[in-house]
Amino acid sequence: MIPKKKLTNSIIFSIIIIAALLLANNIFFINDTTGAENLVLDAQTLADNGDIAGAYSAYTEAIKADTKLMEAYLGRGHIALNQSMIAEAMQDAEDALNLDAGSAEALLLRARVFDQIGDRTAALQDLNDAIELKSDFEDAYLLRASIKAAAGLLDAAVLDYQQAKDINPQSPEAFFGAAELYIAQNDWQSAEDEIEEILDLDPENVAAYTLQGEMFFNMGDYRQALSSWGRAIELGGETEELNARCGNTFYNMGKYEDAADIWAKVLWENPGNSEVRFNRSKAYFQMEEYDLALSDLNLVSEALPENVDVLVNLGMVYMQMGQTEEALEAYSRAVEIDPQNPTILFWRGNAYRSSGSFSDAVSNFSRAIQLDPSNPDLYNNRGATYMDIAEYELALSDFSKALQLNPDYLLADINRAQTFLLMGREEAALAALDNISPSNGGNPLIYDTRARIYFQTGEYSQALDQWQTYLQLVPDSPFILENIGRVYLMQNELEEALDYFDEAIRLNPEQGSAHYQAGVALLIQDNAEESIQSFTRAIELDTETELAYYNRGIAYREIGDEELAKQDFRKVLEISQDEELVQACREMLDDL
């Protein structure tokens, strides 16, 4: 039996030992928790300084030190999500919720993960729960607004942004989000109010001026857009992106040279910016600088060989350059990449029509119609092709279908009238013009078409009136001037005719038909030598070639140069399929 005093001492000693052990353990736990919290602080500092990998590692070490430290799971989870480490982010969110199922911050993290993987329903549920737990949770309102906006719930999203602003009146994210939504709704005044709020908080906010420029651009107020983006550039905004936008603005303003110049600055800094180079090619196209457009498109095509938009634009440039085969090659490559695209088939159909491959043109337009049966342009262009091959009833059917789809489609109305004219149905042609939609009633094309009908029926004074009216609407039109000259020529008013032909040539020296008509007038005036010059110029421009050779042959005969006259008549025999013209040349040769 142990003596009482010794028992007491033993108990006291044991208590001291146990207390020491407990104290030691407590000291250990306190140091461990403090170390973990310090690691979290370190991680936050590293993240703020841009060392994301270091921050992630520090959070991980904090979790190892204290598996119940909520802040470490949340911090690491947000970093993982920002680095597209979806599974890791979700695991951290779940671990945080296991620690505290009522953590609004953990619900926010999981909502972000759900949003990232496209599960908006689950994300919204977590955000609703988070806001119910923490009614002043600004970040939850911001994320919920963003998700609602993406789902098209714009009014509900605006309310959430407003709630975030109420919580934090200096929250730029809320003002930006609301402004973007108002822009999407074309509520320009509300958008401007939100942007002004941002600029009141921070007068040098580059993003605010950038967004303001976007707003003005969408409004069509291009000058204000340029001003806002210029201010953003002055404040140190991303020059490449902002200059690219300024180029887009100049392009929309029709200032193609300015657009090309500013895009050139972007490409000087970044020659590999294919989007800007592609846009510059479109500016060059509008400027009719086809060689420059082609150069840009070829470079873009090398970088983006499967881009059908680039290939279509290549085809359009080649068509303007008269290189139909190259255009067809570009369009066909685009069709191979996207065979179900009716727009590509439309452009290829136009190229086939220009090349004289009318059956291929009809085939392409028909395929496009199968894919897009509600597109009036497809019917109109197929109808125009049927006109080319004298399938007039089919042409009329297509023009009627185009007008059924778009009653204001002027070109289909004009083509319909011209088809009647080709069929010799002049009254029907005039009636078709009279029935054109009132919205197109004053269009110059109507006067031109009506004049052509009158000209064909020999009603020259009415034709003259119509073309004169056209000139009042579109002054200095060389082709209309030539047509007026033809009226005077048919009325044997040769001086007036020559005045109009000369004016047409002055405005467009490459207008071969005007040179030819001038030659005819001069020949009738017995001015054979000058007529030869006009016919020669028409031949050089490959216009009215058969008749130009024939009439030049007559002119040579008039001045006594029988050898040159024979050469021209023989040339007609080589190239002409017109039996009457061929017979006339044979008779001329027999006489010589």
Q: How confident is the model at residue 32 (pLDDT cuts 50, 70, 90)?
A: low
- Is residue 369 scored above 90 in pLDDT? yes
Residue ranges of the chain that CATH labels 1.25.40.10: 13-131, 136-221, 374-475, 481-488+496-592
Q: How confident is the model at residue 438 (pLDDT cuts 50, 70, 90)?
A: confident
pLDDT > 70 in the chain, percent: 94
Residue pair 110/126 in contact by the 8 Å Cβ criterion: yes
Neighbour tally for 363: CB within 10 Å: 17
Q: Quickly name the fold that domain 136-221 has.
A: 1.25.40
CATH class of 374-475: mainly alpha
Q: How confident is the model at residue 551 (pLDDT cuts 50, 70, 90)?
A: very high
pLDDT tens for each residue of 139-189: 999 999 999 999 999 999 999 999 999 999 988 999 999 999 999 999 999
Long-range pairs, 189-198, Cβ under 8 A, ≥24: 191/215, 198/172
Mean pLDDT across 108-120: 94
Lowest mean pLDDT, pick from 34-48, 322-336, 359-373, 563-577: 34-48
Between CA 383 and CA 396 the distance in angstroms is: 7
pLDDT tens for each residue of 512-545: 999 999 999 999 999 999 999 999 999 999 867 8
pLDDT score for 31: 42
Could you tell me the CA-to-CA distances from 184 to 23, 155, 298, 301 in Å, in that order? 64, 11, 35, 33
Between CA 523 and CA 377 the distance in angstroms is: 44
CA 440 to chain centre: 27
Q: How confident is the model at residue 590 (pLDDT cuts 50, 70, 90)?
A: very high
Residue 586: DSSP 8-state: H
Residue pair 540/524 in contact by the 8 Å Cβ criterion: no
Strand ranges for 58-114 from DSSP E: none
Q: How confident is the model at residue 442 (pLDDT cuts 50, 70, 90)?
A: confident
pLDDT > 90 in the chain, percent: 88
pLDDT score for 171: 84
Residue pair 394/386 in contact by the 8 Å Cβ criterion: yes
- Is residue 100 scored above 50 in pLDDT? yes
Mean pLDDT across 188-202: 94
The larger pLDDT score, comparing residue 457 to residue 30, is at 457
Q: How confident is the model at residue 137 (pLDDT cuts 50, 70, 90)?
A: very high
Q: How confident is the model at residue 28 (pLDDT cuts 50, 70, 90)?
A: very low
Lowest mean pLDDT, pick from 5-9, 158-162, 351-355, 568-572: 5-9
Residue pair 538/512 in contact by the 8 Å Cβ criterion: yes
Neighbour tally for 212: CB within 10 Å: 27
- Is residue 20 scored above 50 in pLDDT? no
pLDDT tens for each residue of 329-362: 999 999 999 999 999 999 999 999 999 999 999 9
- Is residue 373 scored above 90 in pLDDT? yes
Between CA 386 and CA 369 the distance in angstroms is: 15
- CB-based contacts of 330, cutoff 8 Å, min separation 6: 311, 312, 314, 315, 318
Mean pLDDT across 74-84: 93
CATH of range 13-131; options 3.40.50.720, 3.40.50.620, 3.40.50.300, 1.25.40.10: 1.25.40.10
CATH of range 481-488+496-592; options 3.40.50.1100, 1.25.40.10, 3.40.50.720, 1.10.10.10: 1.25.40.10
> Could you tell me the sign of the dihedral formed by the alpha carbons of 204, 208, 214, 216, in that order?
negative
In the chain, helix, strand, coil percent, each to 5?
80, 0, 20
Mean pLDDT across 400-428: 95
Mean pLDDT across 434-459: 90
pLDDT score for 33: 57
pLDDT tens for each residue of 226-243: 999 999 999 999 999 999
pLDDT score for 43: 85
- Is residue 7 scored above 90 in pLDDT? no
